[in-house]
Amino acid sequence: MKLELLPWLILFLPLLAAGGITLFTLRYRTVSALLSIGAIVTGFVLSLVFINANGWQPSSAESIANWLTIGGLHVDFGLKLDALSLMMLLIVTGVGGAIHIYSFGYMHADRSFSRFFAFMSLFTFSMLGIVLANNFIELFIFWELVGVSSYLLIGFWFEKPSAGDAAKKAFIVNRLGDFGFLLGILMVWGLLGSLNFTVLQNKLTADPAVLGGMATVAALLLFCGAVGKSAQFPLHVWLPDAMEGPTPVSALIHAATMVAAGVYMLCRILFLLNADALHVIAWIGGFTALLAALIAVQQNDIKRILAYSTLSQLGYMVMSVGLAGPTPAMFHLTTHAFFKALLFLGAGSVIHAMHDEQDIWKMGRLQKKMPVTFWTFLIGTLALSGVPPFSGFYSKDSILGQALSQGNYALFILGAAVAGLTAFYMFRLFYVAFLGKPKTQAAEHVHESPAVMAWPLRVLAVFAVIGGVIGVSQTYASQFSPGEARESFGQSLVEPLTHSPAGVLVGLAFIAAGFFAARALYRDAASDPLPEKLGGLATAMKHKFYFDELYEATFIRAHDFIAAVMDWIDRWLVEGLCIGLVRGGTDLSGRALRLVQTGNLQTYAFLFVLGVAVVMYFVLGK
């Protein structure tokens, strides 16, 4: 049973790669890249081997080493192996591996090539850690590591001020979420005395009321972590700015890692979330989905559109979790990983070809010159829009179905409307960037990307097509609702229709509406016609509903103001007044006291006698 070692190997291979690159191979670009790619691809292969050998629910569910024990605080470093984590393992290593390979081509000209791969491997390691963590502290450790890896990667081109700022913003906003997360962890530990998921689950199963009145608070605090990491409203602002990193990084962040972590974590700790908390979570998710979709409609940067679409899709997933549907959520997370990675890499390919031009209004008519990119991007668009039979259709529909089955019609309608909006902005992007007339000189002279970039696109495109019907959903279901019958391939192909035909129909109607609207508006447009039609709303959408400005004016301003006040107090009251008073007072009293040393003998004699008089008065005078 040497296979027990495999999860550890899968987890630590990327770390070894990162460490090795940093310490030894910074100068050898290709070696570095191969180390990094090798680590993740090996991880993928080993994951497959492991799953093949042990199935989705290995008999030994945890593999543990004690990391820290202090009295009642017991922290393990353990791996949790179940369908949820193993599937995520595959996604992270698989999709991540494709992105790694793609990066080899994309980043080839960069001077810090080795450093890039070191960071990528670190990022992969951190994400794998989140996936495999079996307790809260371990999860939090990797949670933080993901944060810092994203910080490093977003700020990869640190000489660009905007990149530095974006990295900083991502880090701090994530930290805001982590603040709540850690508080939640503390609260759960305080109430239940353990950090291990299995132990916690057993306790809660044994006594569901053990959390008492704090249940909702604790659940929502934990959710804060997901809000930060998965960029849910109101902490969604960092994700679009994270575009400042190289495009493969965006692909990694948006598709397989980081943002997925929040949803994954919610599914992992689902047993801790009570009904009230879930309700809040569902609405936050739904609202984020709608908000992001609206903003995406008016963005012109190709990566930003994709970024907001990610936000929107993450909203779906969170909403699904909130609707007590972890299976649809994870299902959508998986398919989304495929097509969003595809889309980002495709966008990267375009940007690469366009010499770092990201404005869609400067592209156009790319299908001839970049066929692979064009077709794969189209597949990604269709999948994201939820067009059957692409993978996105199945996953999105399962979420809408979940809403219906929970009887939450408001969220159902909201979800369907967002699906329509998704179709609208994606086809807007597609029409403007890939079809129509070339809008600039650069767009006329593009070339297809090299094979090392094209092949990951092709592979991902295949999964974007078939991702919905290869049993992903069933695998998750085996985790969250064990005992359900496994479906055959044919059943899963038509599963949405059999399960909730109404949902499918409404959803498809919205999607069609979105597509035709986009087609009507943007098929031949040279500039965006929408702002004139929508007026102020379009401006608001373009400016992301002014969230950045709002935070700038409140949170950041408040902190800077408090900091200024504190600094003033420190400088003038503590340092200046208190210390100054003591210092000045001492000095002054010294100067005053020695004034009696007039040098005049008579004064001295007088003071002498005065001293005697005073002493006499106190000793004998009473």
Site string for another protein, 213-242 (x = CB under 8 A): ------------------------------
Task: Say if CB 3 and CB 50 are below 8 A apart.
Answer: yes
Q: Is 167 in the site for another protein (CB under 8 A)?
A: yes
Cα–Cα dist 116/157, whole Å: 10
For tokens 């450790």, name the residue.
Answer: 141
Q: How far is the CB of 150 from another protein (least distance, A)?
A: 12
Q: How far is the CB of 280 from another protein (least distance, A)?
A: 20
Q: Is 49 in the site for another protein (CB under 8 A)?
A: no
Q: How far is the CB of 76 from another protein (least distance, A)?
A: 7
DSSP assignment of 412-449 equals: HHHHHHHHHHHHHHHHHHHHHHHSS---SHHHHT--PP
Q: Report the site for another protein in 257-296 (rule: CB under 8 A).
A: none
Q: Is 554 in the site for another protein (CB under 8 A)?
A: no
Q: Is 597 in the site for another protein (CB under 8 A)?
A: yes
Instruction: Indicate the residue among 174 and 299 with the shorter CB distance to another protein.
Output: 174
Q: Report the site for another protein in 344-383 (rule: CB under 8 A).
A: none
Task: Say if CB 77 and CB 138 are below 8 A apart.
Answer: yes
Q: Is 69 in the site for another protein (CB under 8 A)?
A: yes
Q: Is 207 in the site for another protein (CB under 8 A)?
A: no
Cα–Cα dist 321/325, whole Å: 5
Q: Is 520 in the site for another protein (CB under 8 A)?
A: no
Q: Report the site for another protein in 78-107 (rule: CB under 8 A).
A: 78
Cα–Cα dist 17/614, whole Å: 84
Coil vs helix vs strand at 207: coil
Q: How far is the CB of 171 from another protein (least distance, A)?
A: 5
Task: Say if CB 459 and CB 551 are below 8 A apart.
Answer: no
Q: How far is the CB of 327 from another protein (least distance, A)?
A: 25
Q: How far is the CB of 317 from another protein (least distance, A)?
A: 25
Instruction: Indicate the residue among 550 and 573 with the shorter CB distance to another protein.
Output: 573
Q: How far is the CB of 302 from another protein (least distance, A)?
A: 25
- Angle between helices 391-405 and 302-322 in degrees, nearest 10: 40
Instruction: Locate 354 and state its tokens.
Output: 């366009």
Q: Which of 159, 406, 401, 166 is nearest to 275 (CA)?
A: 406
Q: Is 175 in the site for another protein (CB under 8 A)?
A: yes
Q: Which residues of 333-357 are buried (b: 16+ CB within 10 A; e: fewer)?
A: bbbbbbbbbbbbbbbbbbbbbbeeb
Instruction: Indicate the residue among 157 and 361 with the shorter CB distance to another protein.
Output: 157
Binders of another protein: how many residues, by CB under 8 A? 109
Q: Is 606 in the site for another protein (CB under 8 A)?
A: yes
**φ, ψ dihedrals at 579, nearest 5°:** -65, -40
Compute CA distances 585 → 146, 472, 570, 576, 581, whole Å. Answer: 54, 77, 19, 12, 5
Instruction: Indicate the residue among 516 and 604 with the shorter CB distance to another protein.
Output: 604
Compute CA distances 282 → 308, 329, 408, 431, whole Å. Answer: 19, 11, 10, 33
> Considering only residues 24, 53, 158, 498, which one is a binding residue for another protein as defined by CB under 8 A?
158
Q: Report the site for another protein in 111-140 (rule: CB under 8 A).
A: 137, 140
Q: Is 444 in the site for another protein (CB under 8 A)?
A: no
Q: How far is the CB of 478 from another protein (least distance, A)?
A: 21
> Considering only residues 192, 258, 305, 323, which one is a binding residue for another protein as defined by CB under 8 A?
192
Q: Is 56 in the site for another protein (CB under 8 A)?
A: no
